[in-house]
Structure 1
Amino acid sequence: MLAHYLRIAFRNMSRQKMYAAIKIGGFAIGIAACLLIGLLIRNELSYDTQFENAANIYRAIGLYTDQGRLEKAVSFPAPFAQAMKNDFPEVEKAARLMPASLFYGAGSNQLRRDDEPNNTYEEGFTYADQELLDIFQLPMVYGDRAKALAEPNTMVITKRKADKYFPGQDPVGRVMFLNNKKNQPYKISGVIADWPATSHLQYDFLLTLKGKSLWGGEQTDWRSSNYSTYLQLKPGTDIKQFEKKVLTTVIEKYYLPSLRASGQAGPEQEVKKFGLQVQPIRDIHLKSYDIFDWEPRGDIRFVWMYAAIACFILIIACINFLNLSTARSANRAKEVGLRKVIGSQRNSLILQFLTESILYSCFAFVLGFVLAWVSLPFFNTMAGKTLNVPIGEWWMIPLFMVAALFIGLLAGLYPSFYLSAFKPIQVLKGQLSRGSKNAGLRSTLVVFQFTTSIILLIGTVVIYRQMQYILHTKIGFDKDQVVLVQGANTLGKQTDVLKTELLKLPQVKNVSVSGYLPVKGTKRDGNPFWKEGKTKEEAAVGGQKWYVDDSYIPTFGMKIIAGRNFSSQLASDSQAAVINQAMADKIGLKDPIGQKITNGWEHFTIVGIVENFNYESMKQRVEPVCLALGRSNDIVAVKIKGTDVKQVLADIGSVWKSFAPNQPIRYTFLDESFANMYADLQRTGLIFTCFAGLAIIVACLGLFALAAFMAEQRNKEISIRKVLGASTSGLFMLLVQNFLKLILISLVIAIPLGWFLMQKWLQDYIYRISITWDVFVIAGLTILLIAIATICYQAMKAALVNPIRSLRSE
């Protein structure tokens, strides 16, 4: 019986090649989209699930509420981790981690073996406690886990870095120099397996925290927060109760005594602003979008958005199948009537039509898999991933088979019941209306298809405009033609001479040396500031203190709106500050020039005000910044002029080589670093554009086939109208007008929905575009023109048909 059903299905497919191709092609595109996005979602949701005790590992999150504004951060004081182990039996292990740039021993990350003269630039450094290895339980390739980071100046590296520097050797006991610090050699004490690709930790070099301190007494100071803290809790711990217990104990036992000992007034009011959470490590990658973190993370909201797009594309493809199946019901009505007359039961007819649907689904799945496989490299580039189709895993083929069966059943269920319900007497007498009873359903489904496509198109336009706004709006500094040369702190005081030599180049306009740059991923130093003469409790505002040189402001094209820039000729400028407008406003300085501000241990005289500049994401407000003269030699920023960029880079490289012959120059451009801050937005825009295009293609495929069928059904009507004198243009409009009405209805529904959804999305950005009327005009006209072009061929073909040929059969 099944073989019989399959023969009938193949025969129908061969007779209706165009409709079969559109059904299978639309399905295949939907399946390919779902498969690609499914791989992306699977990758995103798999972060930090591989660790043995993942269910019991947490990261501490600090909360601070000030003037109704909640801030979250991963940084805690140095003694916090030890207090967790000492005071809370729920804590089995606790360990700290800190980005290497905060310690002077690791900033520009130049690394070499002690027996090699040349430095190699490396990233992925962090300082870590010994117990971090015990918490995450990465396999040890060489060395003893129990004491790998227990001694000062020791380092654990990953297997891939061990293979790079010591191929085929056990490197334990070997010595490496970091940033040419020969007086601070690091001994390799262990080699761990590489971190899983889906771990939020991707550090290749773990430097011990043993014996390290940012300043004298820092390791016991509760007033400064610089460390991430990871906790392994006992299974079954009540997290909410644990958070309350930790907050109460830490405040009463540590924070309050520390604040009182420092002489701070009103500490009881200050600690009321504190809060604490513990975050499961499996949530870190996707649920840290509102947390100040050391590294950029993913966003669970994007994951669900991608999932919704994939589902919509698949639904649009299923609608094509359903629409075409019900639209062609009249063509199969006599087949159904005859089969019922010769004894076929409704159940057997339902089974026959479901078999056809499943067969279409199987073909579509095979083609969809091929499309996904072929387009995966492009998708990886677009999404910034290295995804692979898990073809070798045992569940892949069964999943495909079940999915093909399920989608085939789902898409074919209604057409099967509808077609099998025809009554043979009505059919054979010709009393069945030719597909008109389901016109309302088909119209509703077409409206749904195009409403979804228009919303995706509106989203694409809004995301593109927001991206352009971010990249080209006024940001308070000039990011163009600034070369960032990294690794300068290995030169020590020679950086001043390097700066002088670079300024001699004819195509160099300005040079500044500082590790504090107006882009993410560079140095930051959070400080409270307040006006001298007032107390911290009544007047302090949070801000940044950046050490710069006197050429920093002109090199980055910042605008001084009051006062002056620093001058190296004035000895008094060693205590001078140039602040941004945000700091002047928040502290409440109406005439700031000449006034004094302090952070409690330093005192500055304000000599200038710069216009606000964005140094973090546009999702964040511009916060107060205090620029002060000081040495921070990590990066040399070179402002170039002229158009021969290749030549000036070569000249800069020659000057660099004369100072650091064993250290290859490494540089980036400031505008590239700025654009990288919004890589997630760029990827979202690309994915939106790609899948919005796919949704429109699939919807138009169905519209094309539906238009062809409608023209075929009205063939004789058109011929009669033509004989009676109807013009070609009039016949064209007759065929097109119903479809245009559906597109217009889709626009009416999609515009408010698209506006609402994109307004919600834009709320993440403090600095954002307004959604103007032309966004909807662009989306509407684009869909309208594509739809008209899709229908046009079939409508003109029907309008130009010879009426004699159509009426001859009457």
Structure 2
Amino acid sequence: MGRKQPMKSPMPQNAGPPKWAIRFFRRYCNDHLSDAVLGDLEELYERRLIKAGKRKADWLFVWNVIQFLQPFALKQKKKKSQNSNNAAMFKNYLKVAWRSMTRQKMYTSIKIGGFALGIAACILITLFIKQELSYDKFYKDGGNIYRVYNEFKEEGETNKWTSFPAPTAGIFKAEFPEVVKSGRLIPYAGWWYAGSNLFRRADQRQNTYEEGFVYADQSLLEILQVPMVYGQTENALADPYSIVISQTVAGKYFPGEDPVGKAIILNDDEKTPYKVGGVMRDFPNNTHLQFDFLITLTGVEFWEGEQTSWCCWNYNIYFELQPGTDPKELETKLLAVRDTHYVGHLERTGDQSVGEVKKNHFFRLQPVADVYLYSDGIHAMVEQGDIRFVWLFGGVAFFVLLLACINFINLSTAKSANRAKEVGMRKVVGSFRIHLVRQFLTESVLYSGVSFVAGILLAWIGMPFFNQLADKSLTMPWGEWWFIPTLAGAAILVGVLAGLYPAFYLSGFRPIDVLKGSLSRGSRSSKMRGVMVIFQFTTSIVLIIGTFIIYRQMQYILNKKIGFDKEQVVLIQGANTLGDKIKTLKTELTNISGVQNAAISGYLPISGTKRDGNQFWKEGKSKEDKAVGAQRWYVDSDYIGTLGMKLVDGRNFMPGMAADSSSIIVNQAFVKEFGFENPVGERIQNWRPYTIIGVVEDFHFESLKGKIEPLTMVYGEWGDVISVKVGSSNMKEVMVSIKSVWDEFAPNQPMRYSFLDESYARMYEDVQTMGRVFTTFAVLAIIVACLGLFALSAYMVEQRGKEISIRIVLGASGRVIFSLLTFNFIKLVLISLLLAMPLGWYLMKSWLDDYTYRTDITWEVFAISGLMALGIAVLTISFESIKASRMNPIKSLRSE
């Protein structure tokens, strides 16, 4: 039987520590500490109670409780455990990501730099696309507004144009209840007062040239819901000789005034003053209608019977339809107008093409929102873009960003060995793969976020350059509610997409392999990186090939023999306001030293200038004869010589010869269309008979996208343009003399002039814009690809440092080391070249097929593109390779 332990004497009931102090302690102290600590404090209290008495023991107990008020002992606010853990983990992810970024500054700079370039490109192109897609989307009832155009199918070709005879719009409105309103527009420059005019207030004498005059119906204002600053939309063009001006024009000529009812003078014609019927708000930038002056068509008849004639096609037509109208069904119904009115006109004039018209001529309705981007192949005189350019530019920007993402993926997987131990240790202490995926995605999103900030800054800095490049006036939409949230969402999305593969790749390491040091670098990820490098350089080389071919096509266009001499030709515009004095002015201009010749005409071989389409038949035609559509230009006897055109048969017009009033000169395309073997002396007729006196060699008077069409010239010494051929090399001196002569004839009229070669080049502004954008993005793509290549080569040198050192110690030369390090990369670039050549050829051939006259795609383009890409790649990797071949092997081997 064991010895009995002595019992501790019990503490008196009133001898315990203060209960309020105990309650206070339990309230603030962490649960997992309170019992143990309180037990210690109570034992200490008992000893003090025996030695010092209750009062002192109570006081010391309270003091110990207060002393224990330390942060580690305090209770934490209750949170959901999962949320707390997630927050802590996310904080840890950010901390690790930031350390990784700051530890490897070069690789971080390359990742962020490539991302930022791609993001800046995407921001700029996205803003460009957004503006292009926004054209004509602002109309309140835009879904019911349509433009009407013609479609004629003949011999495998489809011709489309927007002009109609004068009475067509009224007939459409009267005969079809689906048409709520129909309105007409004449945008053709040179058509009476359409285009450009001298403009002044009636109470002033000084004239100013203004652009942007068109003729319009009152109903067109209502269809387009043109907002007015002064006046009423419902009647601004209701009166004859009324005009609506833009807010900008009103501020220029009537500052601080209400111009409604005020008189203005066009082209110094004081006999026909116009009254301002209203001031409209400026047309926004995103509309195909860019005009400052709308001249009424009320009461207008350009010649006797013109408003009821079906022979001349000069009016564009817009509809407002009843809500719910099916445009396709209405197109079918509109053919009744063709069969009744247009065909009736052809039958009355004996035109044999009635059958072809009934079979092949259709009326189409185009939503107003589609006019700007979807009018390729439709002949019109309004501003239009091309949806293909929109998606092309978007595709190029996307690929630049994709190349930057590839850089991130390549560098993340290439440096996987540096993160392997971290992955292994995290898995050993309990991390699941999903936690590691989240960690690496967080790191990727952080890279993306920093890159987006840098990309936004680059886009803002580069905006003026891009506007000049694309001929736009874009701005950063800082004040738009959607801008920052969209960029933030894009940053997260791009970060996640770019980080998915590295995240799953890195999180897939087995901890036992990592910690034993037996982790295989593997060829799988290496092959994947090779594929991505090939993709980068294939894309870059395709862009280089595209840039070269666009440049060659532009040079072909500008240097091709086009059948007339465009160099050193000054175009003096607005001379029609001089009346009969225009002939004297022409004579005085030819007397200037350095001027070779001058000619009068309103017609120029430049697309977008004045045109006059007509139909011609052989004299004595019957209904079986086929009409030939051709241009009819009024020119004087010096027109052909001044523009350097070549007569291949017959003679030119002769001044003073009465017979030439019924003579006509035709081009070779006209002769071919009629099938004349000996055209000179043949009799043809339009609205009057003509005798062919000469044949001019075909010359291009429209874009090289289309073939040369039939054209005729008739004699007339009137027009609004004087073409002056300058022979002197001192153009500046000759221009001073021309200006002096002009001022003598028109002291109150500023001289407006341009140069024929520059006007010709502006016909191909879309090609030049495409070339500039292609060049810029090709350079960006190469820079991004080379950044990745440089980083990979630097990493390879870093990883193979000991191997290189051993080779140097064993006697390997610098050339051997250089070849060893560059061979694989050069092989990848050569593979890229082999892939890029057929792809680039196919894409650019498809683009060139739009041109009837085009440059050839020769082997030199691919050779130069390939050598350029190869040279850039070699230069990129040479820096690190040469550096490695010259390094001191002792530094690398010292650790061994």
- 1:116-195 equivalences under 5 Å are 116-195=204-283
Question: Which residue does 1:634 correspond to in 2?
Answer: 720
Size of the aligned set, in residue pairs, is 808
Q: CA deviation at 1:586?
A: 1.2
Change (3 A) 1:262 1:596: closer
Question: Counterpart of 2:809?
Answer: 723
Which amino acid letter does the alignment assign opposite residue 831 of structure 2? I
Residues 266 and 41 of structure 1: CA distance in aligned 2, closer, same or farther (over 3 Å): closer
* Aligned-pair CA distance for 1:296: 4.2
Distance of 2:779 and 2:428 partners within structure 1: 47
Q: What residue in structure 1 maps to residue 454 of structure 2?
A: 367
1:289 and 2:376 are equivalent in the alignment: yes
- Write the letter of the residue equivalent to 2:399: F
**Is this contact kept in 1: 2:569–2:724, CA < 8 A?**
yes
1:806 is matched with 892
1:397-430 Cα shifts (integer Å, max 9, x gaps): 1111111111111111111111111111111111
Q: CA deviation at 1:688?
A: 0.3
Which AA in structure 2 matches 1:548?
Answer: V
Equivalence for 1:514:
601
The aligned residue for residue 131 of structure 2 is 43
Tell whether 2:880 aligns with 1:794: yes
Asked if the contact 1:328/1:435 (under 8 Å) is kept, the reply is: no
| 1:108–1:489 Cα contact (<8 Å) kept | no
CA positional deviation for 1:744: 0.8
Match of 1:564 in 2: 651
CA apart distance, 1:631: 3.5
TM-score, structure 1 as length reference: 0.98
Match of 1:690 in 2: 776
2:396 pairs with one of 306, 309, 315: 309
**In the TM superposition, what is the alpha-carbon distance from 1:803 to its structure 2 partner?**
2.2
Q: 1:202 aligns with which of 281, 290, 302?
A: 290
Identify the residue that residue 33 of structure 2 maps to in structure 1.
none
**What secondary structure, in the 3-state scheme, does the structure 1 residue paired with 2:625 have?**
helix
Q: Give me the whole-angstrom Cα distance separating, in 1, the residues matched to 2:522 and 2:749.
A: 77
The residue number in structure 1 matching 2:92 is 4
Check the 8 A contact 1:94/1:131 in 2, yes or no.
yes
Change beyond 3 A, Cα 1:266–1:464: closer
- Confirm or deny that 1:460 pairs with 2:568: no
TM-score normalised by structure 2 residue count: 0.89
Residue pair 2:570, 2:754 contacting (<8 A) in 1 also: yes
- Contact residue 79 and residue 220 of structure 1 kept, 8 A: yes
| RMSD of aligned alpha carbons | 1.4
Q: Deviations over 1:194-230 (max 9, x none)?
A: 1111011111111111111232222122232111000
Contact 1:492 1:633 in 2 (8 A): no
664-673 vs 293-302, which moves further: 293-302
Give 1:181 deviation, angstroms.
Answer: 1.5
After superposition, the C-alpha distances for 1:272-331 in whole angstroms (9 at most, x for unaligned) are 221111000111111112100113410000101001101100100000000000000011
Q: Could you tell me which residue of structure 2 aligns to residue 237 of structure 1? A: 325
1:244 partner SS: helix
Query: In the alignment, residue 674 of structure 2 is paired with which amino acid?
Result: I
Q: Which residue of 1 aligns with 2:147?
A: 59
Q: 2:433 aligns with which of 342, 346, 349?
A: 346
| 1:376 aligned residue | 463
Residue 596 of structure 1: how far off its partner (Å): 1.8
Q: Is this contact kept in 2: 1:108–1:634, CA < 8 A?
A: no
DSSP-derived class of the 1:684 partner: helix
Conserved 8 A contact 1:544-1:624: yes
Bigger-Rg structure (1/2):
2
1:6 Cα deviation (Å)?
A: 1.6
Displacement of 1:100 after TM fit? Answer: 5.6
**Structure 1 residue 726 displacement after superposition:** 2.1
- Corresponding residue number in structure 2 for 1:618: 704
- Give the Cα separation in 1 of the matches to 2:105 and 2:641: 68
CA contact (8 A) 2:666 2:713 kept: yes
Please say if 1:416 is aligned against 2:503: yes
- Match among 668, 678, 685 for residue 598 of structure 1: 685
Deviations 1:456-489 (A, max 9, x none): 1100000000000000110000001000111101
Distance 1:635 1:234, change over 3 A: same
CA shift at 1:770, angstroms?
1.0
How far residue 633 of structure 1 moved from its aligned partner, in angstroms, is 2.0
Matches within 5 A, 1:423-502: 423-434=510-521, 436-502=523-589
Against the structure 1 CA distance between its residues 500 and 741, is the aligned structure 2 distance closer, same or farther, given a 3 Å change threshold?
A: same
TM-superposed CA distance for 1:437, in Å, is 3.4
Give the Cα separation in 2 of the matches to 1:550 and 1:425: 95
Q: Is the Cα–Cα contact under 8 Å of residues 105 and 181 in structure 1 kept in the other structure?
A: no
Query: What's 1:393 paired with?
Result: 480
Separation in 2, partners of 1:612, 1:476: 6
Change in 2 beyond 3 A, CA 1:265/1:644: closer
**What does residue 103 of structure 2 align with?**
15
- Contact 1:106–1:179 (Cα < 8 Å) also in 2: no
Structure 2 residue 208 is the aligned partner of structure 1 residue 86:
no
Q: CA-to-partner distance for each residue in 1:351-374, whole Å, 9 max, x for gaps?
A: 221111111101100000000000
Answer yes or no: is the 8 Å Cα contact 2:634–2:716 preserved in 1.
Answer: yes
- Percent identity over the alignment is 55
The answer as to 2:749 corresponding to 1:663 is: yes
The whole-number CA distance in structure 1 between the counterparts of 2:248 and 2:384 is: 23
- Residues 565 and 608 in structure 1, CA contact (< 8 A), matched pair in contact too: yes
For 1:164 and 1:438, locate their aligned partners in 2 and report how far apart those are by CA, in whole Å.
Answer: 67
Match of 1:275 in 2: 362
Alpha carbons of structure 1 residues 243 and 106: separation in structure 2 relative to 1, 3 Å: closer
Letter in 2 for 1:450: F
Residue type matched to 2:588 in 1? E
Paired letter, 2:612 = D
Match of 1:678 in 2: 764
Q: How far is the alpha carbon of 1:262 from its aligned partner? A: 2.8
2:571, 2:724 within 8 Å by CA — same for their partners in 1?
yes
Between 622-631 and 33-42, the greater mean CA deviation after superposition: 622-631
Higher RCO (C-alpha 8 Å, min separation 6): 1
> What residue number does 2:494 align with?
407
Deviation at 1:161, TM superposition (A): 0.8
Residues 226, 139 of structure 1: CA spacing in aligned structure 2 closer, same or farther, 3 A cutoff? Answer: same
Does the CA-based 8 Å contact 2:670-2:711 persist in structure 1? yes
Displacement of 1:537 in angstroms is 4.9
CA–CA separation in structure 2 for the residues paired with 1:242 and 1:169: 45
Partner SS for 1:768? coil
Structure 2 Cα separation of the partners of residues 139 and 298 of structure 1: 25
**How much does 1:265 deviate?**
4.0
Residue 113 of structure 2: aligned partner: 25
The separation in 2 between residues aligned to 1:169 and 1:447, in whole angstroms, is 66
CA shift at 1:266, angstroms? 5.8
> 2:730 matched to 1:644?
yes
1:74 aligns with 162
2:216 & 2:348 partners in 1: Cα distance?
A: 29
* Closer/same/farther in 2, CA of residues 102 and 508 from structure 1, 3 Å limit: closer
Secondary structure of the residue aligned to 1:539 is coil
Q: Given the alignment, which residue of 538, 545, 548 partners 2:625?
A: 538
Structure 1 unaligned spans of 5+:
none
Runs of 5+ in structure 2 lacking a partner?
Answer: 1-87
CA deviations on 1:89-142 (whole Å, 9 max, x unpaired) are: 111111000126454345651111111111110111111111111111121111
